[in-house]
Amino acid sequence: MMALNRPATHLVDRLPEVRGSYSVEAPLSKYTWFRTGGPADVVYRPKDAEDLADFLRARPADVPVTVLGVGSNVLVRDGGIRGVVIRLGSAFAGIAIQDGQVTAGAGVQDLSVANACRDAGLAGLEFLSGIPGMIGGALRMNAGAYGREMSDAVIAVEALDETGRLRRLSNEAMGFVYRACRVPKDWIFLGAVLRGEAGDPATIAARIAEIQAARESTQPTRGRTGGSTFKNPPGEKAWALIERAGCRGMRRGGAMVSEKHCNFLINTGSATACDIERLGEAVRRRVHDETGIELEWEIQRMGDARPGRSPEPGAGQ
Ligand SMILES: Cc1cc2nc3c(=O)[nH]c(=O)nc-3n(C[C@H](O)[C@H](O)[C@H](O)COP(=O)(O)OP(=O)(O)OC[C@H]3O[C@@H](n4cnc5c(N)ncnc54)[C@H](O)[C@@H]3O)c2cc1C
């Protein structure tokens, strides 16, 4: 849908014709778990992988591109994101299971992969049931829980590079590290082949139920949050350092450190992205003062601050 009150020449007028759809000045708050963030200049929903590749090939070189999954690990700043934000839809949401392997599109919910594997008697991917993102986000973040992460499961990945060329990556080529991978930021994952092992559906179902119950009791899973805010420093737990620094329940505007799990920040209802980022920076400072340890953001902060409301000093991208 096009907004009618856009300027006479808008970025969208410079973009190639696509079979998918463009929305201009599209609010991103509805696409992030925090429910904060300003608009994207343009949101593009590709019709399929070919449409996306054509778009990447033909777009003007100066137009930045950002891909979002379900926004469960991002903080979009209040001024929004310049350029084109890409959201993958149902054409990227296929799942196929064969010979102990699952092929999943980047737009499939992690939980759907875990459930499909359960139904097919494929064990080893139960950890995905507790991660509220899509496979594309899980690849980028090397998402993991309960002792397993994507790097343990990935056999191969398909991606489009910044020029729309199809790339096939082995597990090694992904360069997985803790909560990140070394694939260039502007490559877009299309899907992955993941490894499982033969298992009993009832046992897999019981493990999924166990994981979900553990999450419900320890995390604010129904809150407006971005998951773990900071990475665990080597040999430490971020939540324990935050607790030690006395930050549980700390607030900035409408943002609060969760009482339930203090490595989670919460939008209590009226928070801006700036409140959340300022709160995170205040936590980092206090932890550093108290323990000498520098916490590193796990949440991906993106976009522009609203003019005059820049995050606190030290709040780099
Ligand atoms: C309640 C809660 C619990 C969580 N628990 C866990 C947990 O246990 N373990 C864990 O690891 N994480 C956890 N997270 C964080 C988050 O769910 C994961 O990082 C998830 O993998 C992000 O997926 P997403 O689709 O939401 O990606 P987004 O948050 O939308 O994006 C995350 C990053 O991935 C990039 N990206 C998204 N899709 C693609 C694509 N197709 N190609 C290339 N890059 C892409 C984005 O540009 C961004 O840099 C939790 C979050 C919440 C809210």
Question: What is the rounded distance in angstroms from the CA atom of residue 238 to the CA atom of residue 262?
Answer: 9
Residues 29-46 have pLDDT tens digits of 999 999 999 999 999 999
Distance 8 CA to ligand 1 centre (A): 36
How many of the other CB atoms lie within 10 Å of CB of 13? 10
Q: Phi, psi (5° rounding) for residue 83?
A: 90, -150
pLDDT, tens digit (0-9, with 9 covering 90-100), for 57-100: 999 999 999 999 999 999 999 999 999 999 999 999 999 999 99
Return the CATH number of 92-216, one of 3.20.20.10, 3.30.465.10, 3.10.580.10, 1.10.3720.10. Answer: 3.30.465.10
Q: What is the pLDDT of residues 135-171, one digit of tens each?
A: 999 999 999 999 999 999 999 999 999 999 999 999 9
CA distance 65 to 43: 10
What pLDDT, in 10s, does the model give residues 112-138?
999 999 999 999 999 999 999 999 999
- Look up the pTM and report it: 0.95
- Is the Cβ atom of 194 under 6 angstroms away from ligand 1? no
> For the domain with range 220-301, which CATH number is right: 3.20.20.140, 3.20.20.70, 3.40.50.620, 3.90.78.10?
3.90.78.10
Is the shortest distance between the CB of 69 and ligand 1 below 6 Å?
yes
Question: Closest Cα to residue 130, out of 231, 212, 41, 244?
Answer: 212
Our answer to whether residue 179 is catalytic in this structure is yes
Q: State the fold for domain 11-87.
A: 3.30.43
Phi, psi of 36, rounded to the nearest 5 degrees = -130, 170
Could you read off the pLDDT of 94-116 as tens digits, one per residue? 999 999 999 999 999 999 999 99
pLDDT score recorded for residue 316: 44
- If you measure from the C-alpha of residue 176 to the centroid of ligand 1, how many angstroms do you get, rounded to a whole number? 15
pLDDT score, position 302: 97
- Ligand 1 centroid from CA 255, angstroms: 20
Burial of 108 (0-12, 13-18, 19+ CB in 10 A): buried
Residue nearest to atom 41 of ligand 1 (CA): 136
Q: Does 298 qualify as catalytic in the annotation?
A: yes
Q: From CA 73, how far away is CA 139, in angstroms rounded?
A: 12
Q: Given a cut of 80, is residue 4 above it in pLDDT?
A: no
Question: Catalytic site residue 29?
Answer: no
Closest CA to 113 of 157, 153, 72, 159: 153
> Kindly report the CA angle at 8 between 7 and 11, in degrees rounded to 5?
70
* Mean pLDDT of the residues in the chain: 94
- Integer-rounded Cα radius of gyration of the chain: 20
Q: What is the mean pLDDT of residues 202-216?
A: 95
Catalytic residue among 228, 277, 284, 286: 228
